[in-house]
Amino acid sequence: MPALTTTADGFLLHGEPFRIVSGALHYFRVHPGQWADRLRKARLMGLNTVETYLPWNLHQPDPDGPLILDGILDLPRYLALAKQEGLHVLLRPGPYICAEWDGGGLPAWLTADPDIRLRSSDPRFTGAIDRYLDLLLPPLLPHLAANGGPVIAVQVENEYGAYGDDTDYLKHLHEGFRSRGVEELLFTCDQADPAHLQAGGLPGTLATGTFGSRIEQSLARLRAHQSEGPLMCTEFWVGWFDHWGEPHHTRSAADAAADLDRLLSAGASVNIYMFHGGTNFGFTNGANHDHAYAPVVTSYDYDAPLTEHGDPGPKYHAFREVIARHAPVPAEPAPAPAPKLAPFTVELTHRAPFLPYAVRTTEPVGAETPLTMDELGQPAGYVLYRTTVPEAGDGLLHFTGGVGDRAQVFLDGAPVGVLERERHDETLAVRAPRPGAALDVLVENLGGVNYGPRIGAPKGLLGPVTFDRTPLHGWSCHRLPLTDVTGVPFEPSDRADDHEPAFHHGTFEVTEPADTFLALPGWTKGQAWINGFHLGRYWNRGPQRTLYVPAPVLRAGRNDLILLEQHATTARRAQFTDTPDLGPEKP
């Protein structure tokens, strides 16, 4: 018997009238040492529910391997903490989640099949989903409300009407949940557009909408599609995400609060997207590709009520006041900002050249023409491609099909240019210093497209390479997922600057761990790790200028900072500050 049921115009929870006042809080974007803190702050804002997606690509990175449910992916622990805090949970397992997440959450091993029809009733796709659900649902069933847990509803797919209209596929998912023991309310969600609601709906399943404004119009469209039942906005967009090279997006607290008030005044239920955005740690960010490829930045602050670093922002206080007009809000005071480390500087005293490291420490895969990352079985990170050019002199390197997503080109170790997918680059004029000069192409995966028909677009070198129309053969492909950088062979260095890709290492002392922010003026582009924890990508093109360092990443005493700088640095030091800088706002 489901705990949450519907009436002609609302919800009942265990038979009593209930309005969902929820906020999105993705466990996989928050350090697990901070889950309890973020959940407590959700309750204190007046939320009675939290919502989370599930990233299939992280939980099942190997189609034949076990399900991963530990560390930042310990969803059962997250659900237990939510229950402990007195919060209900909306679970959105996808299989597709969008979420500005790498590949929309679809595993690279799945999207690598060029013939598979994603998000459809193609048996190859539904078969993979069935195997995933067979692994996923047994450890989650104890956390469903029917079994005394906090999960009161489960979503079927995600904004499917913006992608397709395969009702048989949606029915397969619906039956997949039911046949595996999910008794709770099932729902769909689509953008508040009549065509999307029609294509993404499933008869007999609650339809909900996603929108951030035009409240009355959006609710009217939802009611026109579904003549009775609760009105629910499953994604009330209160901010937005950022791409590298674009301004930082914000929305005024007053404007968002006014629309939240309109939504609640209409009697609707809501899930605030995002309540707390968190961070795209490591290589997990997604990308968009409309006219051009555009990768998402490391921060997923989203201008949410609770900032990326977990402090109440202006929207937190404004939303708390609005919610108090419509639902109970705890009498406890709003939470105060968390402690921050005082600003300090770290000298990076050791280095290790990156290209030699890549060659020495990885087993190359030989190929006559370059292999894509999919063909190499690598879902994220970098690949170094190596061959030689036959002749000396000026010539044109042509990369058939372009690159996915960004390639740095070197001849005999000297940088000669960069190609980017977002600029549709395919050619580069170079001067080969001698016959047989070594050609190195370092390709970076900047994040898988998470929305639209380009999900699963290949990464790496995407076709044959020629030099003045002469095909280049005999490639060595070095896989560089960089999942572990503890073995980098650092040596002392006193160089004032650096002009080649290299790892850099420094140490610093902390008396008592607290949140801080890593700033890298004078550095160009790369990755950052603290104590082996991959903070994510930095890039001086902005808008983001600092990386969030969660307090649990640090330890009392000595701490290690490692940077992979891909281009050049004029500063052999890093700065830690007590204030984030996510860049200039969009005018």
Average pLDDT for runs of 10 along the chain of length 587 = 95 98 99 98 98 98 96 98 98 98 98 95 98 98 97 98 98 98 98 97 97 98 97 98 97 98 98 98 97 97 98 98 97 97 97 96 96 97 98 96 97 97 97 97 98 96 97 98 96 84 97 98 97 98 98 98 96 96 85
Confidence (pLDDT) at 483 = 96
Angle between helices 253-265 and 215-225 (to 10 degrees): 40
Give dist(CA 93, CA 458) in Å, integer: 24
Confidence (pLDDT) at 498 = 78
Pick the catalytic residue from 85, 157, 184, 235.
235
The DSSP output letter for 453 is: T
Picking from 94, 90, 126, the residue whose alpha carbon sits closest to that of residue 110 is: 126
According to DSSP, the β-strands at 21-25 and 49-53 are: parallel
pTM (2 d.p.): 0.97
Amino acid sitting at position 404:
G
Give residue 342's Cα distance to chain centre. 29
Beta bridge partners of 208: 189
Confidence (pLDDT) at 587 = 64
Range 377-414 burial, b when 16+ CB lie within 10 A, else e: ebbbbbbbbbbbbbeeeebebbbeebbbbbbbbbbeee
Angle at 394 between CA 462 and CA 292, to 5 degrees: 35
CA distances (Å), 141 to each of 172, 501, 536, in order? Answer: 19, 48, 33
Give dist(CA 4, CA 17) in Å, integer: 10
Q: 273 CB contacts (<8 Å, ≥6 apart)?
A: 24, 51, 210, 234, 235, 236, 237, 238, 302
Q: Is 184 a catalytic residue?
A: no
Pick the catalytic residue from 159, 184, 308, 422.
159
Confidence (pLDDT) at 567 = 96
Q: Is the peptide bond before 62 cis (omega within 30 degrees of 0)?
A: no
Q: Is 159 a catalytic residue?
A: yes
Confidence (pLDDT) at 578 = 98
Give dist(CA 92, CA 235) in Å, integer: 12
Q: 579 CB contacts (<8 Å, ≥6 apart)?
A: 340, 517, 546
Confidence (pLDDT) at 585 = 82
